[in-house]
Amino acid sequence: MIASQLKIIEQGISYLESVSKADYTAIISPNFISSTGSHMRHIIDHYQAIISGLNKELIDYNVRSRGSQFELLPRLAIGKLNEITEWIEQLTEDKLNKLITLATEVSISKQNIQHVQTSVARELVFASSHAVHHYAMIAQISFAQQNSQPQSFGLAPATATFLRQSSNRTNIKQKGC
């Protein structure tokens, strides 16, 4: 699990190393309402919620750093993702399996914060899946900016498995097996 977490964060770092500051902060209207920087900051927010949550015994995804420098400066976002990488690398099985309370907003019509029991491992699975979802949006914005990203950027792990299996089935059929 740790290795897959690190691979997903590595994808974000690779993107950040390739993007210009102008493209990182640009909002391509009317098709998009946020910049790729906003998406990267949002990804960082979720990992930060887990990190601070482990110390406070409460993961709160409602705490966000909207408008922060992470949205404006790719180099700063790279630094934060490197810190998150170091934190993940030092996780032990005990920390991963630690039960913890999660607080999250669940309604768009009124404030409704729910508290549920979860584990650090489960929330890391969520954070990486959430990151991949945002990478897919970043890939679309990059495409609109005429910047290319690797085909695997924003590709869900389950989709990658499906494509590999489909490819294997096609190869078997072509070989007459």
Domains of the chain: 2-174 (1.20.120.450)
* CB of 50 closer than 8 Å to CB of 127: yes
* CB of 31 closer than 8 Å to CB of 38: no
pLDDT score for 152: 86
Q: What is the mean pLDDT of the chain?
A: 91
pLDDT bin (cut points 50, 70, 90) of residue 67 is confident
**What average pLDDT score do residues 54-72 get?**
89
pLDDT score for 72: 94
**What average pLDDT score do residues 81-92 get?**
97
pLDDT digits (tens, 9 = 90+) for 96-155: 999 999 999 999 999 999 999 999 999 999 999 999 999 999 999 999 999 888 888 888
**What average pLDDT score do residues 149-164 get?**
87
pLDDT score for 177: 43
User: What's the pTM value of the predicted model, to 2 decimals?
Assistant: 0.89
pLDDT bin (cut points 50, 70, 90) of residue 92 is very high
pLDDT score for 169: 62
pLDDT score for 151: 84
Please, is 65 exposed, middle or buried when counting C-beta atoms within 10 Å of its C-beta (0-12, 13-18, 19+)? middle
* CB of 88 closer than 8 Å to CB of 9: yes
DSSP string, the chain: -HHHHHHHHHHHHHHHHHS-HHHHH---TTT-SS-HHHHHHHHHHHHHHHHHHHHHTEEETT---TT-GGGT-HHHHHHHHHHHHHHHHT--HHHHT-EEEEEEE--SSS--EEEEEEEHHHHHHHHHHHHHHHHHHHHHHHHHTT----TTTT--HHHHHHHHHHHHHHHHHHTT-
pLDDT at residue 57 above 60? yes
pLDDT at residue 87 above 60? yes
pLDDT digits (tens, 9 = 90+) for 20-31: 999 999 999 999
pLDDT bin (cut points 50, 70, 90) of residue 176 is very low
